[in-house]
Amino acid sequence: MASNNTPPQYVFEIVAIEAIRKYLSVDFTPEEITTYYASMIEGQYDTDELADDMLRLLEKILVFVNSVDVSDVDLLLQSYQYFVCNYEKIGTKRNKKPMFRSILKGQPLDNTRVYKASKSFVAYAYGMRSDVSPLKPEEWTPADEVEFAPIFEAILPHES
């Protein structure tokens, strides 16, 4: 099916990074994790190729992380989520309140989303090394991202 309601690039990256964080902390296969996270946003977007794309991104990011010296991978991943929520690119703040549409509005499928996400992550990680990429504030949590609340509510475990 030709999808016209796939997650925007930044939503794809937020969900994929959360899947990677989960993969690094539990004993499940990458396929199980990415399929699970794709299903979590199924009600909001067409997810036909989402699990496969998240799996490809997971592999690319883990290969990169293993090739460089990262002292705290989870901090890097959380900081990247913060960055994606708040910045278009290094030095450019994200407009979270567009005038004529929702920031979470689905878009046509971008077949290059894995490539774009992996390049953005690598640029962000190298930017952190040279102190140009913003590190997440210590007090930041996904709950602070009101505009992205439907996404984080879907992908994060609920405390009861």
Note the pLDDT of residue 139. 95
Domain locations in the chain? 9-155
Average pLDDT (74-101) is: 91
Q: pLDDT band for position 158 (50/70/90)? A: low
Per-residue pLDDT at 132: 92
Q: 3-class secondary structure for the chain? A: CCCCCECCHHHHHHHHHHHHHHHHHCCCCHHHHHHHHHHHCCCCCCCCCHHHHHHHHHHHHHHHHHHCCCCCHHHHHHHHHHHHHHEEECCEECCCCCCCCCCCCCECCCCCHHHHHHHHHHHHHHHHHCCCCCCCCCCCCHHHCHHHHHHHHHHCCCCC
